[in-house]
Amino acid sequence: MRRSCLWIAPLAGVLCFVALESRARAEVFNTARTLKPGALSVAIAPQVFLEDPLVSELQLFFGVGLIRGLDLQLRYDTPLGGSGLPPYLGVDAEVGILRDRGARPAVSWTMGTHVEDWSQGGLDGTVMVSKVFGHLEPFAALDGNLEWTGGGAVSSLWLAGGLDVHLGRLVEFIVEGGTRLKQTGGYISLGFNLYLAPARR
């Protein structure tokens, strides 16, 4: 298979998550460029769900580069202001499929697992594309979630996008929005991503 066509298989995998719709949460807060081996990152981002009434949470991300083109991320969400959202803990691995080079954007595929409220487990997968233009890096992603509940397995599909502003070699400001497909609902989040060393490939 040609390398330029490798993104088709991950996209098909994300679409396979779609069956029944759940209230699963989505957030990529990342770009399609993976961390360099041994590099570490920490991010913090408040997120607001565009529902009636509005609910919010605080998200924390911890990343480490494993080998070239592969990194691992830990994510923890905690509710803000008595929103009633359950806590969320997840871990995922991101694989770089295409590098940002010339006119070609970066493309990556992420797969992971998570637990909500310490009792409901699930799987998630994301296909992402991003492109660096100077200090700006717009990104877009298709994010699928599969949850196991008392009534069986349900899934959700989100379309997300945003802008990563490179404030320096070690600091990025990210703003992101997303909408749930096949159901109403969306979110807005913004925050900072910090690196312990120049870290993106």
Is the pTM value of this prediction over 0.75?
Answer: yes
Cα(52)–Cα(131) distance, rounded to whole angstroms? 34
Residue 200, domain member (yes or no): no
Residue 61, domain member (yes or no): yes
Residue 72, domain member (yes or no): yes
pLDDT in tens, 61-113: 999 999 999 999 999 999 998 778 889 999 999 999 999 999 999 999 999 99
Cα(201)–Cα(198) distance, rounded to whole angstroms? 9
Confidence class of residue 153 from pLDDT cuts 50, 70 and 90? confident
Of 9-23, 32-46, 53-67, 180-194, the one with minimum mean pLDDT is 9-23
The pLDDT of residue 40 = 95
> Residue 70 burial (CB < 10 Å; 0-12/13-18/19+)?
middle
Residue 201, domain member (yes or no): no
Residue 55, domain member (yes or no): yes
3-state secondary structure of 149: strand
Average pLDDT of the segment spanning 137-144:
96
Work out how many domains the chain is built from and give that number: 1
Confidence class of residue 33 from pLDDT cuts 50, 70 and 90? very high
Choose between 158 and 153: higher pLDDT.
158
State which residues form the domain around 56.
3-195
Residue 49, domain member (yes or no): yes
The pLDDT of residue 26 = 60
For residue 33, give the CATH number of its domain. 2.40.160
Mean pLDDT of the chain, nearest integer: 85
